[in-house]
Structure 1
Amino acid sequence: MQPAVIRRSRFFVEPETVYLRVRDGDKHEEHLFRIHRYFLERDSELFRGMFACPPTKGSIEGQTEETAIHLPGVVPYELECLMAFLYEGMYDRVVPLEEWIALLSVSSRLLFDKIREHAISAIERHAPPLEPARKILLATKHDIPRWLHPAFTELCTRPDALSEDETSELGAEIAARVGRARDMVRLRAGYGQPGGVGFSKAFAGCGCKDCRDARSESVRANYVAMVDSIIKETIALP
């Protein structure tokens, strides 16, 4: 008697693949990719909704090269990064920062929510860190509000003014706001020195180390609060 054969509902993956098409605008080329449908349905709200729709008359979209699903706004490198993560993400490999940024872009556009969060965390941990001006651009483009305040704080408190490249990246309006915020910080803090916010009083009275440390910490806290207030007021952050 032959044993009963049971298809496991969780790990009996259908072999169906899907063709995807993206455009390389610089080279006027279209690139085709072929991926297992399972990954798209598992990880993307966009593709789950797409595949749940009943097919229209004729060929089903994505089943052949001729009917490949077009992904507007996605470039070949971004989709390659997504494929690499889906098929090779469990392996220990060094991923360059540009690949994480590409993965952030494509996962945001195609609603791969968990992959998006993974890319955000990887960019936050990356050493050296992402430049603040570029971080602001990515945060604005991909709706990552938690990146904005630290990046603007770095631009407004560092010794160096905005470079020409940073000004170009941020645009004239934002660059002007950063410039005003920097001027206000320097003015209120004694030209950029945290000690300008009450430093002369930090060592008044008792001169023991504990008291000096406590007063210095108070000065630093006042400085941070002052910078936060200026950034929210000048750059209109929530």
Structure 2
Amino acid sequence: MTSRISAPRELVTSMVQVGRPLRNLPKRSAGNTPADMPAAGKCRHSDYCFDDGNVVLECQGTLYKVHRSLLERHSPVFREMFMLPQPEGSIEGLSEENPITLEGIEADDFTRLLSLLYPPVLGDCKITTVEEWMSIFEQADRWQIDCLRDKALGNLRMSYISPIPKILFWMRFRLPEEDIVQPFIDLIARPNSLSLSEAQAVGLKLLVKIACARDMARDEGLCPHSGGFSVRRDEALSRIVHEVFYPS
């Protein structure tokens, strides 16, 4: 029986706020899988199963044989996990037949994380899309790899992300409020109201606040026009955003 690390993946549209606990890591269970039993239904990752790797991890049936020291160096979560005592006779993580299972984590996401820890060319980075950087940010936040978290956030800040996905992602991870003032302005100033799918994505509480802010903007005559917004209108819309979404 392999150990399992519970780490449920949330969609970008989730309103769940993710913390970064170091404590309450799961205890390892005693392994009872014979060392010579084949790993049925599992496959080795073509790039991240190193001959000299000394810890075996599994995500969604994909096996990774990597270097414990590298994970410990960059992630306090992995460092504390590896310090947990193992029951006598347990060989979890030492063989492909009895890996440490990272439950609830997408294999593609974990592979992206490893691509930055093991770049094919020193200093190279093949992560380019917003979706990929969001994936890297989520993994870096989960494992508390702060340098990668900061790198991912920097790239997300420089990328265009449509208002609702950006707002939900920033709120989920409690990122700086000022980064999403403009997306909120875009939502409350646009001529059309939220679609059904957008309303379902933001949830009732946020939907009510957006509707309230749009009403305030309309009552103050801040509706969009062909000439765009003046500085004074932008300042007024920013004030409405702070009053509705970030009241002091």
TM-score (norm 1): 0.70
Aligned ranges 1:102-113 → 2 under 5 Å: 102-113=135-146
SS at match of 2:108: helix
Aligned ranges 1:128-139 → 2 under 5 Å: 129-139=160-170
Give the distance between the partners of 2:187 and 2:197, measured in 1 at CA: 13
Asked whether the equivalents of residues 53 and 65 of structure 2 are also in contact (C-alpha less than 8 Å), the reply is no
Report the counterpart of residue 223 of structure 2 in structure 1: 191
- Structure 1 residues 190 and 41: CA distance shift in structure 2, 3 A: closer
Aligned ranges 1:111-130 → 2 under 5 Å: 111-126=144-159, 129-130=160-161
Asked whether the equivalents of residues 189 and 223 of structure 2 are also in contact (C-alpha less than 8 Å), the reply is no
The range that moved more, 166-175 or 78-87, is 166-175
1:178 CA displacement: 0.8
**Which amino acid in 1 is paired with 2:69?**
Y
Which of 201, 205, 211 is the equivalent residue of 1:179? 211
Which of 49, 55, 66 is the equivalent residue of 1:18? 55
Report the counterpart of residue 166 of structure 1 in structure 2: 198
Aligned ranges 1:1-238 → 2 under 5 Å: 15-23=52-60, 30-88=61-119, 90-93=123-126, 95-126=128-159, 129-146=160-177, 147-192=179-224, 220=231, 222-236=232-246
- Structure 1 residues 45 and 134: CA distance shift in structure 2, 3 A: same
- Structure 1 residues 106 and 156: CA distance shift in structure 2, 3 A: same
Q: Point out the structure with the larger helix share.
A: 1
RMSD of aligned Cα (Å)? 2.7
Larger Rg: 1
1:16 CA displacement: 4.3
Unmatched 5+ stretches in structure 2: 1-51
Give the distance between the partners of 2:62 and 2:173, measured in 1 at CA: 24
Over the matched positions of the two proteins, sequence identity in percent amounts to 29
Give the distance between the partners of 2:92 and 2:173, measured in 1 at CA: 28
Asked whether the equivalents of residues 189 and 223 of structure 1 are also in contact (C-alpha less than 8 Å), the reply is no
Give the distance between the partners of 1:111 and 1:71, measured in 2 at CA: 15
1:120 CA displacement: 1.1
TM-score (norm 2): 0.67
Give the distance between the partners of 1:237 and 1:116, measured in 2 at CA: 28
Asked whether the equivalents of residues 185 and 192 of structure 1 are also in contact (C-alpha less than 8 Å), the reply is no
Deviation digits for residues 141-178 of structure 1 (CA, Å, limit 9, x no counterpart) = 22223433332222122344323332221123212211
Unmatched 5+ stretches in structure 1: 1-14, 24-29, 198-218
Deviation digits for residues 56-81 of structure 1 (CA, Å, limit 9, x no counterpart) = 32234321123322223311111111
